[in-house]
Structure 1
Amino acid sequence: MKNTWLILSLVLFGCGQQPPVVDDIANSSMNTVQWQGVYHGVFPCPSCEGMDTTIELLHPNDYIIHTVRLGSDPYPFQGRGTFQWDKTGNIIILDRGHIYQVLPDHLYLLDIEHKRIIGPDAERYRVDKVKYLSQPVDS
């Protein structure tokens, strides 16, 4: 009987529970985080030493991205475009296909299923905010 209660309590109170889904768009990153700003980091790269990446998110839904393939390509890429928020208001999708989870001080690059990349390099798929924009900037 003790084993039955132990198993039942594990099932009911934590084992296999999914994280809560934020359905309240008013409390999403889009509405509660100062997401405008400049983010920087170096993503893993299978054919180079890393992808040095800077992303600037601008109001209303514009971005500028600058990448350099470290150790292999002397020609940096710079592009600009627009992004859309997903229905939760916590994820942005750039018009070039990149998907990012928006948090107060950083962005995580997500996979095509809108999930965090896992594994030993998981934290390297993050760009940290290096500059805040105090006011919305029109482009």
Structure 2
Amino acid sequence: MNKNLLLLGLFASLSFATSCSNSESVSEEENEINSTEKALYVGDNSATSLDWNGTYKGTVPCASCEGIETILTLNIDRTYKLSTHYFGRNDALEEDDMGTFTWDETGSIITLEHVSNGPSKYKVGENRIWQLDMHGNIITGDLADHYILTKQ
């Protein structure tokens, strides 16, 4: 009986030690990625402090149509999918772009690579992103609030 208890205790100890070493190696990998990410930027910023990955949606103004439904999905591996639908101009007209994005040196603005048509810069905030103008500036004026995409 004592042998069975001893074997059971030994098995439990080995199982616990194995599970701890696996979680430590995962934590080390995550820490290495986080350290590399944080080394690129100074202090807290959107890239390191926010849960930025996900899908953002909004309808931005359009000069020649009723509005552009914009859906931008940002993936943790720094890939994106941008879908646009032009209301009123040709309801069947939809455009999709896919590619990678990069963070600026401050860690707050992303640039979408390989965008075929339209703006490629966005400022990332808590549960929303701001579409920036062609020069990378925040859009101001009466319609400024219409250039914000919210996280779904």
1:30 corresponds to which residue? Answer: 47
Q: Deviation digits for residues 8-37 of structure 1, max 9, x if unmatched? A: xxxxxxxxxxxxxxxx63401000000000
The more displaced of 96-105 and 116-125 is: 96-105
Q: 2:101 aligns with which of 83, 94, 97?
A: 83
Residue ranges of structure 1 left out of the alignment (5+ in a row): 1-23, 131-139
The runs of at least 4 aligned residues of structure 1 exceeding 4 Å deviation read: none
CA RMSD of aligned residues (A): 1.2
Count of aligned pairs: 107
Say if 1:53 and 1:65, in contact at 8 Å, map to a contact too: yes
Q: 1:79 to 1:112 in 2, by over 3 A?
A: closer
2:140 is equivalent to residue 128 of structure 1: no
2:110 to 81, 92, 96: 92
TM, length-normalised to structure 2: 0.67
Indicate the structure whose relative CO is greater, using CA pairs within 8 Å and at least 6 residues apart: 1
Q: 2:23 matched to which residue of 1?
A: none
Structure 2: tracts of 5 or more residues without a match: 1-40
Cα distance change of structure 1 residues 76 and 102 upon mapping to structure 2, 3 Å threshold = same
Structure number with the higher helix fraction is 2
Task: Measure, in 2, the Cα distance between the counterparts of 1:59 and 1:26.
Answer: 20
In the alignment, the residues of structure 2 paired with residue 25 and residue 52 of structure 1 have an alpha-carbon distance, to the nearest angstrom, of: 35
